[in-house]
Structures are given as structure tokens and as C-alpha cells.
Amino acid sequence: MYTIRKTSKKQSAKNRLIAQSKQRLLNEYGCCQICGNRRSLQLAHLLPKGRYPEYYLESRNHALLCHECHELYDNDVDFRKSQTWAYNQIYQFAPLEAGRYFRIN
Ligand SMILES: [Zn+2]
């Protein structure tokens, strides 16, 4: 009998970094960075991991959002555009991508 490794070592290391980032944000904010909700908090990627996988582990690309705000941020470009703080945070490490994702340039 042998065991099947469900998660590769590389993936486990990434998951650990993501978990650390979430813990750091929980310590720093403790609530949704958009609406202040303290429930159903998630680690959000300001530049989405599907379109911008290169920033998956970038800590400045991480934010603590509640489920509702996370959905809105990901799917509603007008809502996203109203979050100037998020644009400014992305601009620090990926100015071109910030403009594209927020459809500003
Ligand atoms: Zn929220």
C-alpha cells in the first residue's frame, strides 16, 4: 500500500505563504478592508490569480475582504474603480497592470 500525496511540496509552501499573509492582515485589520465586516473574511488577490499568476504570492497583492466585497471587487469594474486604495496599492508593484485591471489606461 502506498499513500497518495494530495498536495505537492511546492504547493504546500505556497499555501503556507498565503496563510501567513492572511494572518498578517487579520492582525493588522481584523475586518474587511472595504466595509469593515468581521465575518466570512477571505484573502483576496487584488490582481486576480487567474489573469496575473505572477503576483499570486506578492504580499502587496493581498487584501482581507469579506465574501460579498470580494465578489463585487472581482466582478464589478465600477465597484473596483471606487476602491482607490486598492489601485494605489497595486500601483506600487505593478503600475501597468493596475491601469489595465482598473481600466484607467
Ligand atoms: Zn466587505
Dist. CA 3 → ligand 1 center (Å): 40
CA of 38 to the centre of ligand 1 (A): 8
Q: For residues 70 and 105, what is the distance between their CA atoms, to the nearest angstrom?
A: 23
**CA atoms of 64 and 42, how far apart (whole Å):** 6
pLDDT, tens digit, 9 for 90 and up, residues 35-51: 999 999 999 999 999 99
pLDDT score for 2? 67
Is 4 within the bounds of a domain? no
In this structure, the dihedral spanned by the alpha carbons of residues 101, 71, 51 and 5, taken in order and rounded to 10 degrees, is 160
CA of 80 to the centre of ligand 1 (A): 12
Query: Does 2 reside within a domain?
Result: no
pLDDT tens digit string along 47-100? 999 999 999 999 999 999 999 999 999 999 999 999 999 999 999 999 999 999
Q: How far is the CA of 48 from the centre of ligand 1 (A)?
A: 17
Residue 7 lies in a domain: no
Q: What is the pLDDT of residue 104?
A: 81
Comparing C-alpha atoms, which of 27, 13, 30, 34 is closest to residue 80? 34
Contacts of 56-59 with CB under 8 Å at 24 or more apart are 56/14, 57/14, 57/17, 57/18, 58/93, 59/21, 59/24
How many structural domains compose the chain? 1
Quote the domain boundaries for residue 23. 12-101
In which residue are the cell numbers 466595509 written? 35
